[in-house]
């Protein structure tokens, strides 16, 4: 496996959207109480005194919706200021981004992923579970603001849902032609809920690539990211197309990440719940950061076995947390 040096940090489990694939309709969400969230001080202590010493140097801030976290700009500044931090990025739905983009950039955030599952406001609102005034335009303004501020790369995440937004693949891919934007198509992953979209299942990345290849042609890109995406580009395009194929292709051998939930659980694999460590409770009970380092090192050592042996349990079994509670 790749060296594990990338930590996805959920700052909050709450979100101002309720996307079907992340917070399934009808599922009661037990939000983490404020006192159960990692405080800013606890999070920074874990990063500086546990994760960095065992080899983590790339960090992505997620949620829920990370921009709902109070003082998020200050957190970005603090993490970016650690000399060992080689990369700091964020995944957001973009709804609150426009007025915050410049401050985040100035604080040290350089890469950002924005969820954009549709270019059609009505379909977009259907996917995000919005019943009121359309939110598409405000998200689009957030994307434009991030572009103007200078985030590079600026990535747009698209979860492809059969019968919902799969007819928009070419329109979404075309966004990469004139701008240095990077569109990433993600296979819908039925975490703990294989019946979420009935019997429609998911669309294989290979089928999406063929659609794009038939329209414009498609070549492998020289640009590679830090994650599991297979990267291509339309000939002559300024941006790239990424395909994250967690359902049709196993990429456990390329996994370089762990996930830290907003309430301090360290999770070695998205697709199963084996081996999690409750770092927050340990920290609050007086366990030294040196002892926590040893626990994390042990988990790093057994991560390959967890990844490969438990891969199917997440999509076939019952999850105790939704995707929003895990941090994606």
What digits encode the pLDDT tens for the residues 13-57? 888 887 766 666 655 566 777 889 999 999 999 999 999 999 999
Answer yes or no: is 76 within a domain: yes
Give the per-residue pLDDT at 281. 96
Is the pLDDT at 316 greater than 60? The verdict is no
Give the per-residue pLDDT at 314. 46
Query: What order of strands is seen across the sheet that includes strand 181-187?
Result: 219-220, 230-233, 240-244, 181-187, 154-160, 111-115, 87-92, 58-62, 6-10, 257-260, 265-267, 277-278
Q: Annotated binding site for S-adenosyl-L-methionine, which residues? A: 21, 64, 115, 189
How many other C-beta atoms lie within 10 A of the C-beta of residue 74? 13
Give the per-residue pLDDT at 256. 87
Answer yes or no: is 282 within a domain: yes
Q: How confident is the model at residue 147 (pLDDT cuts 50, 70, 90)?
A: very high
Answer yes or no: is 74 within a domain: yes
Q: Annotated binding site, which residues? A: 8, 15, 19, 21-22, 60, 64, 91, 115, 155, 189, 252, 255, 257-259, 269
Is the pLDDT at 240 greater than 90? The verdict is yes
Give the single-character DSSP code of 186: E
Residue range 301-316: mean pLDDT, rounded: 65
Answer yes or no: is 187 within a domain: yes
Contact 239, 254 (CB under 8 A): no
Answer yes or no: is 1 within a domain: no
Q: Annotated binding site for [4Fe-4S] cluster, which residues? A: 15, 19, 22, 252, 255, 269
Count of structural domains within the chain: 1
Give the mean pLDDT of the chain: 87
Residue with tokens 């197309």: 241
Is the pLDDT at 266 greater than 50? The verdict is yes
The enclosing domain of 128 has a CATH number of 3.20.20.70
Give the per-residue pLDDT at 296. 97
SS3 label, residue 113: strand
Residue range 79-102: mean pLDDT, rounded: 98
Q: Annotated binding site for GTP, which residues? A: 8, 60, 91, 155, 257-259
Give the per-residue pLDDT at 198. 53
Gap between the Cα atoms of 11 and 76, Å rounded: 11
Give the per-residue pLDDT at 315. 47
Q: How confident is the model at residue 161 (pLDDT cuts 50, 70, 90)?
A: confident
Give the per-residue pLDDT at 207. 93
Give the domain range for residue 313.
Answer: 6-325
Give the per-residue pLDDT at 328. 53
Q: How confident is the model at residue 187 (pLDDT cuts 50, 70, 90)?
A: confident
Give the per-residue pLDDT at 131. 74
Residue range 98-108: mean pLDDT, rounded: 98
CA dihedral 151, 143, 18, 65 (to 10 degrees): 30
Give the per-residue pLDDT at 109. 97
């Amino acid at each position: 496996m790749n060296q594990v040096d990338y930590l996805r940090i959920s700052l909050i489990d709450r979100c101002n959207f309720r996307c079907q694939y992340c917070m399934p309709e009808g599922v009661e969400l037990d939000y983490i109480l404020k006192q159960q969230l990692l405080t800013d001080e606890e999070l920074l202590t874990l990063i500086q005194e546990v994760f960095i010493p065992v080899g983590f140097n790339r960090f992505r801030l997620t949620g829920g919706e990370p921009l709902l976290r109070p003082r998020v700009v200050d957190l970005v500044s603090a993490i970016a200021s650690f000399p060992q931090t080689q990369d700091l990025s964020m995944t957001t739905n973009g709804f609150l981004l426009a007025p915050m983009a410049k401050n985040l950039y100035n604080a040290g955030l350089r890469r950002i992923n924005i969820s954009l599952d549709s270019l059609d406001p009505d379909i977009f609102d259907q996917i995000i579970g919005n019943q009121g005034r359309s939110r598409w335009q405000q998200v689009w303004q957030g994307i434009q603001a991030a572009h103007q501020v200078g985030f590079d790369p600026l990535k747009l995440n698209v979860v492809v849902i059969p019968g919902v937004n799969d007819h928009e693949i070419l329109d979404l891919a075309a966004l990469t032609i004139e701008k240095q934007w990077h569109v990433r198509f993600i296979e819908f992953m039925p975490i703990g809920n294989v019946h979420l979209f009935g019997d429609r299942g998911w669309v294989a990345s290979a089928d999406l690539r063929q659609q794009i290849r038939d329209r414009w042609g498609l070549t492998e890109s020289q640009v590679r990211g830090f994650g599991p995406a297979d990267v291509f580009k339309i000939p002559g395009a300024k941006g790239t197309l990424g395909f994250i194929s967690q359902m049709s292709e196993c990429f456990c051998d390329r996994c370089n990440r762990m996930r830290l939930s907003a309430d301090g659980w360290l999770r070695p694999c998205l697709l199963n719940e084996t081996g999690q460590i409750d770092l927050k409770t340990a920290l609050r009970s007086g366990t030294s950061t040196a002892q926590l380092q040893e626990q994390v090192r042990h988990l790093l050592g057994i991560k390959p076995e967890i990844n490969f042996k438990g891969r199917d349990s997440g999509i076939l079994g019952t999850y105790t947390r939704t995707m929003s509670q895990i941090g994606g």
